[in-house]
Structure 1
């Protein structure tokens, strides 16, 4: 399930490539985004799994102490397609100076309100990632977003443009497999686990395709980790990439 939808051209004018229908879909969910039993309940279950990977990747990339409470202290972080801030807030608690960008103004408004309510100083901006003059960041995250954009090649190039020298990019996305079509689209929508119309299976990206997109943007992809599900474990990091996966990327 996507956190949000946003895309960017790489031309100097920052051409508009956000899919309006996708932005409207996710913006309509802004009101109850922080309700763990609401329409974004699946994201609340997915977020701790992502964070487990993110924390390990941060520690490995910068040689941080695994016991440190703020391994991102003194570093900047950008979450692209931030929704209402489910990932931005943990990144801020890890010490980062955080910016969240999203296509839907409803989402950034909800994110800013929630951050203020819990005492976190996070900058939220609605708009086209390639068109925003926001500089570069040590950490760039993009969770369940690339499958929603109008131009995946241009979008990845825009993400790479936001990455500071020596920086780390982390992405997660559903894999395009028969298993994901059955479970993440048909079954999940039929059972009400995600809102109808959230996923379009044809837009899912395989690890091989993502590796190529990243390479075209001058980035090297790390070894992907699957995000699987079982009745006993629930959502968890796995060696099985069939449903969903998460990866790091750095400059080649």
Structure 2
């Protein structure tokens, strides 16, 4: 899935940088590492598949996950490659807790206890990019989740999410085929009622103070084993980004 996720994140980050009016320092020389000098928060980072890929294109990535096992596995794997070892960090922490820590730091309520972990690594004002891929369909309070993601962004930063829409085809593919027929994931991994249509996720971004872009369909071809972007109407999975206003 990184073959579509990484370009989507890179393009969103570059667009947000341009909209902020930031001087794209040596942008022409950043084709191999277009996210150099870009801070990324990957929420629900799992084993680090996306976090490592973003680090390889130059980003400094902080990955959050609720599972200590995932954090341990991702941390162990990241040190194998010295090229990214110093730019990828993982922590067992909920994004809601990180958002509260960052808000407390701004208000001065945590001055007695120095920030540590992800909160200490967060740039002043928040992260340039917050990413959450295939996570929101598993949370119990999507509105609170999106609000916390947005709270971790700097003004002018961008949130990039991918998830599964709620259609008959998404039920057939993500639940019936993947869980019940092929056994690709354990039964019960997905709850159809938690799938969000693009308009619903867009609304949550608006409620969180973001300006959402148009959703972009993404699709997996089981025959070729490749992911693709675009293709018109969202019928299965999609990416959606939202920008935090400068003011």
Q: Same fold (TM over 0.5)?
A: yes
CA RMSD for the aligned pairs?
A: 1.8
2:185 is aligned with 1:194: yes
Q: 3-state SS of the aligned residue for 1:54?
A: helix
Q: Give the equivalent residue in structure 2 for 1:243.
A: 236
| TM-score normalised by length of structure 2 | 0.78
- For 1:188 and 1:212, the matched residues in 2 are separated by 28
- The one of the two structures with greater contact order (alpha-carbon pairs below 8 A, sep at least 6) is 1
Equivalent residues in 2 for 1:181-220 (5 A)?
Answer: 181-189=171-179, 190-220=181-211
- For 2:172 and 2:62, the matched residues in 1 are separated by 35
- For 2:152 and 2:12, the matched residues in 1 are separated by 18
1:207-228 CA-partner distances (Å, limit 9, x unpaired): 1110110011000111111112
2:63 is aligned with 1:100: yes
1:77-124 CA-partner distances (Å, limit 9, x unpaired): 100000010111111112222100001010011000000112222111
For residue 193 of structure 1, report the CA deviation from its aligned partner: 2.6
Asked if the contact 2:2–2:50 (Cα under 8 Å) also holds between the matched residues in 1, the reply is yes
> Quick one: which of 109, 115, 125 aligns to 2:91?
125
Asked if the contact 1:59–1:66 (Cα under 8 Å) also holds between the matched residues in 2, the reply is no
- For 2:5 and 2:89, the matched residues in 1 are separated by 21
> Quick one: which of 68, 85, 91 aligns to 2:54?
91
Q: Which runs of 4 or more aligned residues in structure 1 lie more than 4 Å from their structure 2 counterparts after TM superposition?
A: 63-67
Q: Give the equivalent residue in structure 1 for 2:44.
A: 81
Q: Give the equivalent residue in structure 2 for 1:25.
A: none
Q: 3-state SS of the aligned residue for 1:117?
A: coil
Q: Unaligned 5+ residue runs, structure 2?
A: 19-26, 102-118
Asked if the contact 1:228–1:240 (Cα under 8 Å) also holds between the matched residues in 2, the reply is no
- For 2:34 and 2:178, the matched residues in 1 are separated by 35
Q: Give the equivalent residue in structure 2 for 1:172.
A: 162
